[in-house]
Every structure is written in C-alpha cells, then in structure tokens.
Structure 1
Amino acid sequence: MGEDAGQRTFEARLAEADRVLRANPRDLRALIAKGDALVGLGDDRAAASFYGSALRGAAEVKGLPADLVADLRRAQSAMQDQSARFQSYLTDSLARSGFDAATSSDRFTLSLDLMAGRKRLYQQEPRFYLLPGLPQIQFQPRETLPWMTAVEDATADIRTELQALLAEPDLFRPYVEPRADRPNTDSKGMASNADWSALFLWKDGEEQPDMARRCPRTLEALSGVPLCRVPGRTPSILFSRLTPGARIPPHHGLINTRLICHLPLIAPPGSRFRVGNDVREWKEGQAWAFDDTIEHEAANDSGQDRTVLIFDVWKPEVTEEERALVSAMFQAIDDYGAGGKAWGV
C-alpha cells in the first residue's frame, strides 16, 4: 500500500470512528479505532488520549467481550510505549537545559514525577484544624531548623537515659490506648497494641514528673527547641518503640501548625518511615521533622526493636502572633468543654 493510499485508509477509519463517537462519545470500540487511526497518521500523543478514554470507560463496565478486552490491552500497551518515548524525549531535552534529577530543584523533580504519574500528590489533611497558606512540605528542610544539630549532638546522652528505662520494659505502654470520654475504635489493629509503645516525659502539654526526672539530659537537649505549646494539648516528648515486624498504618495528624520530630536512638537497618511520596530509613543520631497531617506510616522489618525520641515543634512559617492565637483558640475550646486531650504525635 502506497503512502498516499495508507494515509487515505487511516483518514477513512478516523472519519468512521468520529461518526460513531458523535452518536455515542463513550463507545469503547470507536475510541480505540480513533486511537489506531491517529497512530497510523503519526499522532501518537493524540492517540494516547483516546486509548486512555477507552480504558477509563472500560473500568466501569463488567463482562466485556474477549476481543474487546484484547484491544483494550493493546491500547494500554501502546499508551505505555508512547509515555516512555515522551518521558525519554523530555528527559533528554531537559538535560540539554542543565536539569539533573540528583542535583536540580527537588520541587521541579517532583513536578515531573506527578505529571508522569510516577508519584501521587499528597496534601495536608489535618483531622481537626487547618491554618491555611502553609507550605505543603513532607519533610521540613534542615536549613529552616537551626536547633536540630544541637539535638543530634546530644544523641549519646539521650540514648544512655533511654537504656536505663528500657531495663524496665513495663514502663512502656501501648501508644494507642482507649479513652473513657470518647468512642474507641481500633485504629487498624493499633489500639492497645504493644507492638507500638511509648514512654512519655511530657504528655498532652504536661510534664510527667517521674519520667522527666530520670531524663535530665534529654530535656536539656530540647531546651533550645521551639516546642509547640498549647496548654493541655502539646508538647509531647516521648520515647517511641516499634517491635520487629510491626507496622504503623497510614494516618494523618490533627493540626498543620506543628512539625513532628524524630531523633533515632536505636535504628536497625530495615526500619523505615514514609511521609507522602518520601520513604526514608531511620539512622541513629540523624533527626528529621515532618508534617504529620500528610499521610504517613512506619514499618520495622528488622529483627530488633526500633526506638526514637519524638517531640513536636511549631512550624517555622507560623508567626508568633499565630502561635499565640492558635494556643488561645484551643484553650477556649477546652474551657468550653468540647475539646479533648490525647492529641498524639
């Protein structure tokens, strides 16, 4: 078949597919046929959009004929091939402009992953309170937390105090415990589950004197930290233990005005943490801070307990005025009687 004859054939197929789609824009066979015709005419990107429409429509239909299923699989394969070619072209073009995923803007790199469907978009989803306009950041950049190095420098002293407490395992209690003043639901198996346990030095904004007295170096190390202070609610300072094989299921925190900080003290290889798209392994003495209103989860696939120091701080973007107002707001809520403690970190 000559080039002109081939083009006329694909144009005729395109016209026939358009005729069917005018009558029924959701006709799966016609959508695939139009994609095929566009491929024949050299427009792979347009073809992918019609293949994609057919695949999305097919997801809503049960009992499709075998021949149509085969065509849908072929369309899906064609879409994947087209996407791979486009991504390769885009990568090469950007490289000529100086882009390097390892060293260029993390934000721009994420934008490419989102556009290509390699990652999904995670947003702040606080379960109770949102202060609008705060950056959507999974792990807070270290340069915005000038106090973090001093906390890391105290790792050895803090671990020594932890080891003395670990010698009394009954001091640790399940992190998720029932409450008499609220309905209790089993948080995906974590309620009263000792696989995830905690020992608090401060809890719900109140010092726990017996434990705090045993950890003076730990509290001294946090003396220069901008702890999130809301009377009766925060800060919380605790040692959090995760047993071998344990999982903390995906969940969201309550308010987006704070960051949750981890200082790993016992962190065997294979213990890891995910916030949004970012998965990291805990490494002893290397702290991080994250936004817990973005979906996060934890896993310990090592053969040992993993134990970290956890505390919560104000986000650096929250002004002093806003900190005072947030604190006053929650104090008013609690004075009214509609609030509740046990915010958690």
Structure 2
Amino acid sequence: MSAESVQQAFAAAEKDLREGRQRQAEQRLQELAATQPPFAPACFRLAMLAFRRGDANSSLSLLDDATAAEPNVAAYRYRLAFVQQHLGMNEKAADNFAHTARLDPENVSAMLKAGMLYTARGQAEAGAELLQRAVLTEPALDQAATNTKMTPAARQEIGSALQALNKHYKRMNQQVLDELAGKYPAKERDRFERAMRILYREEKAEYNHPMQRPEFILFPGMQAMPWFEREKFDWVSRVEAAYDDIRGELDALLEEQAEFTPYIAANVEGTDHSKTRAGTDFSSLLGSQAWTSFHMFKAGVISENYKRCPKTMAVMESLPYPEAEDYMPEIFFSRLQPGGHIIPHYGQMNFRLTIHLGLIIPDGCGIRVGEETRHWETGKILAFDDSFEHEAWNRGDHERIVLIFEAWHPDIRQAEIDGLQMFFRKRAEWLRRCQPGSESASKENENGTD
C-alpha cells in the first residue's frame, strides 16, 4: 500500500470507530497493522481496543509493534509502560516510563510512575531524580496530595511520591549532619539538628513567638523579636554614611527609566508564583507594577544590574551578609507605588534578618512587623525578623523606595552557618541536576541498581 492509501484506510477506520462500526474498523486496522513495517497508529489503536476488552497480552504485543515502528512517539511508549505495569512487568515498565519522560519532558505522570518503580526496585537516587523533576515541572504537586478534587488513587500516588522524595532529602541531609559532627561539638550543633528534624517533620515545630511562623526553616531557641535595634550591628553607621552614594545610583536608575520588575512574578508556563508555602495569596500583586524591584542579587545569584550600582555593591560587599548557594543573599531596590499594599505574610526562615535602608520615603508609609508598626526614615536603617507576620503600605502621594538586604541573626553560631551553607549547596546541586530537560541519571541506571 502506498503511504497515501495507508493514511486513507486509517482515516476510514477512525470514522468507523466514531460511528460505531467497531468490527469493520478493527478489520481495517488489522490490515494496516499487518503491513511491513507495521503502521504504528493502527497498532496503537488496536492495542487500546484490546486493553478495553480485557486482553492485556494482545495489547502488549501490539504496543511492542507500535514502539518498534516509531520508537520516539511518547504516547506509544507511555501506553506500553502502562500495560507492562498492569501485567507486573515492573522492570520494563520503569524503563519505558523513564523513556517517555525523556521524549516528553512535560509528562509528569510518566516521571511519577518511573520514579516510584525505580525506588521500589532499589534505585532510590534515580527514582528520586525523576520524582524531583515531576515536582519542578508541576510545582502544584506539593498541594495535589490533599486536593479533594482529584481521585483518591491520584492523591495516593502523588502522596507516596512526595514521601519517597522526602526520604531522599533526609538521606542527603544526613550527609550534612555527619560532616558537621566531624567539625563541631554537639552543643554547637543542637539547634541546627533540631531545625532539620522540624523541616523533615521528625519533630514538632515549637515556635519561639506566637506571631512567628517561618515558612521554610525554623531554628528553635533562637531569640524571637520582631524588631532589632540598630545598636545590635556594628555596620549600621557604615551603610548610613553611604546614603548619598546609594541614593545617587538610585536616582540615576530612575532618570534612565531602568526596568523595575514585578516582585511577584507573572505566571510563566502555568507556574503560579502567587501562593506561598503557607498559602498566603499574593494574586492581587501578581505581575503588578504596584510592587517592583531592581535586583543586584537574587536568590544568591548576582545580576547584571550590579554593574549599574558599583558604589552600592561596594558597601554591600563590605558587610557580613548571609550567603548560601542559589538562595542568599537578596540585595535590591524595592519600589512601592502610592496606594500599594504588601499584604500580611511570613518570611522563609528565622536565622537571618531583613534590613531596609530608607531612600525615597513619602509621608503616609509604614511597615508592621508582629504587633508593632514603624516608619522608614530617609538614610536610616530598619532591621526586622521577617519570619514574623509583616505587611507594608504606601498611603503617600509618590513612590516609596528602600534598599533591602539581609543580615545573619545575632544569635547564630558558626556551626549553624556552616551547616546551612552545606545544606543549601547540596540542595542547589541536586535541583540543578534535576531541572526539567537536563539529561537524566535514570537513563544511566536503566536495567541496573544503585
């Protein structure tokens, strides 16, 4: 049969199926499947029909033919893996689900199924990598396990996957704890170890203050107060003395109409940046020009913007600011337009403080941390623990701009800094390895064991 007649026969079979002539449709499809090489779409359609009537073995044979004829069609490969799993052929199913994920990097279901099957057969790291890719591809999976709109089976599958991934993080974190134990006595490590047990839900969180709820990492026993007075830090006068230089660079940016981007980034490819871990809804500020920023450092990564602010960066680099790979520091100009309101929310952790230097401060601006409201002053520092509930507003008649950076909590120990930096370094290396679209270690581990 010519290619054109094959396509015409397949279209006729599809029409027969739509109009309820299944016997006639199957006869056409079988003729197409018998060609050399087999016509893969016909094999696939027959495989689906066979599985529906309970003939999984025939479905498997037809899917083998379809994938042999067209090995790079993700839908064929996924269905082959599905039937293999149904028949208990878990080794082959795992490899074919992983193969599907390489062919279709958006196929979260294939990643989850491959990850769990690899984990079950003893390839814990390859399994965790696929599960992590699934979460990075679809961040909403974190909430899906409790989403009552999903079927119980889907919730259970996602819940099991998240538990397996959590076990990997615990194994990874144990390496940090072991390394730290070789450097510091137990009394220097106790808070860090407890913080990690709380993070992995091995210990119940005991908050240091009723209005403090860090969304990511809680260090128990660390001094908890919403505001920290300037006398706590020996570098405050150095930063305030540089006000004119910092303000001059800000004025130049404003004169050049430099781009300040929305602090809450607009959704990209379905990713929702408007919800925090604790469920705070920032959708009113999503992609909004009401609250914008000009970052020199973001999530520990230096921006090209720093070249436009050399004097500001020189001051910042003279400070003992927190550093952790792909996480800290954050250094940026924060702009809040008249009428802007940053809703009450919590920060990520309580081991570092947020610092503001007032630059352009109209009347009518304020910031509440915990139960106390303070007001920015031009050229003056405010220091607070953003793991307390906090909010800010601009009820003035022009924009408010502050320089924001970070400082370690005054109580933090060197052992804790070392532990955090090791923790974030391992986390960053792992997440880079698992980024969607990168080459998967699971391919190397197919048909093997860790």
TM-score range, shorter chain: 0.5 to 0.7
Deviations 1:214-234 (A, max 9, x none): 111111122332211011111
Cα distance 1:338–1:218, how it changes in 2: closer, same or farther (>3 A)?
closer
Tell me, yes or no, if the aligned pair for 1:261 and 1:313 is still in contact at 8 Å: yes
Q: Which secondary structure state, in structure 1, belongs to the residue aligned with residue 227 of structure 2? A: coil
What does residue 343 of structure 2 align with?
Answer: 249
Q: In 2, distance between residues paired with 1:168 and 1:283? A: 25
What does residue 287 of structure 1 align with?
Answer: 381
Cα distance 1:257–1:338, how it changes in 2: closer, same or farther (>3 A)?
farther
Tell me, yes or no, if the aligned pair for 2:230 and 2:381 is still in contact at 8 Å: no
Deviations 1:290-342 (A, max 9, x none): 1011000001000010000001121121111101101211222233339999x
Shift of 1:188: 4.3
Q: Check if 1:197 corresponds to 2:285.
A: no
What does residue 43 of structure 2 align with?
Answer: none
Give the one of 409, 419, 424 matched to 1:330: 424
Shift of 1:182: 4.7
What does residue 127 of structure 1 align with?
Answer: 215
Q: Which secondary structure state, in structure 1, belongs to the residue aligned with residue 296 of structure 2? A: strand
What does residue 254 of structure 2 align with?
Answer: 166
Deviations 1:70-120 (A, max 9, x none): xxxxxxxxxxxxxxxxxxxxxxxxxxxxxxxxxxxxxxxxxxxxxxxxxxx
Q: In 1, distance between residues paired with 2:233 and 2:433? A: 30
Cα distance 1:127–1:321, how it changes in 2: closer, same or farther (>3 A)?
same
Q: Which secondary structure state, in structure 1, belongs to the residue aligned with residue 246 of structure 2? A: helix
Q: Which secondary structure state, in structure 1, belongs to the residue aligned with residue 317 of structure 2? A: coil
Amino acid at match of 2:254: L
What does residue 242 of structure 2 align with?
Answer: 154
Deviations 1:48-78 (A, max 9, x none): xxxxxxxxxxxxxxxxxxxxxxxxxxxxxxx
Q: Which secondary structure state, in structure 1, belongs to the residue aligned with residue 425 of structure 2? A: helix
Q: In 1, distance between residues paired with 2:248 and 2:285? A: 28
Tell me, yes or no, if the aligned pair for 2:264 and 2:273 is still in contact at 8 Å: no
Amino acid at match of 1:145: F
Shift of 1:123: 3.0
Tell me, yes or no, if the aligned pair for 1:123 and 1:136 is still in contact at 8 Å: no
Tell me, yes or no, if the aligned pair for 1:188 and 1:249 is still in contact at 8 Å: no
Which structure 2 segments of 5+ residues have no match?
A: 1-208, 275-280, 436-450
Deviations 1:6-29 (A, max 9, x none): xxxxxxxxxxxxxxxxxxxxxxxx
Amino acid at match of 2:423: M
Shift of 1:273: 0.6
Give the one of 367, 378, 401 matched to 1:273: 367
Q: Check if 1:144 corresponds to 2:238.
A: no
Deviations 1:169-190 (A, max 9, x none): 3510000103558544351401
Q: In 2, distance between residues paired with 1:150 and 1:286? A: 11
1:51-70 aligned at under 5 Å gives the runs none
Deviations 1:212-258 (A, max 9, x none): 11111111122332211011111011000000011000000111111
What does residue 175 of structure 1 align with?
Answer: 263
Instruction: Please report the TM-score for the alignment, with normalisation by the length of structure 2.
Output: 0.47
What does residue 233 of structure 1 align with?
Answer: 327
Amino acid at match of 1:245: G
Q: Which secondary structure state, in structure 2, belongs to the residue aligned with residue 189 of structure 1? A: helix
What does residue 303 of structure 2 align with?
Answer: 208
Q: Check if 1:302 corresponds to 2:396.
A: yes
Shift of 1:280: 0.9
Q: In 2, distance between residues paired with 1:181 and 1:226? A: 38
Amino acid at match of 1:161: E
More helix by share: 2
Q: Which secondary structure state, in structure 2, belongs to the residue aligned with residue 313 of structure 1? A: strand
Structure 1 segments (4+ residues) deviating >6 Å: 338-341
The number of aligned residues is: 220
Amino acid at match of 2:352: R
Q: Which secondary structure state, in structure 2, belongs to the residue aligned with residue 169 of structure 1? A: coil
Which structure 1 segments of 5+ residues have no match?
A: 1-120
Amino acid at match of 1:174: P
Over aligned residue pairs, what C-alpha RMSD do you find? 2.2
Tell me, yes or no, if the aligned pair for 1:173 and 1:194 is still in contact at 8 Å: yes
Give the one of 414, 432, 435 matched to 1:320: 414
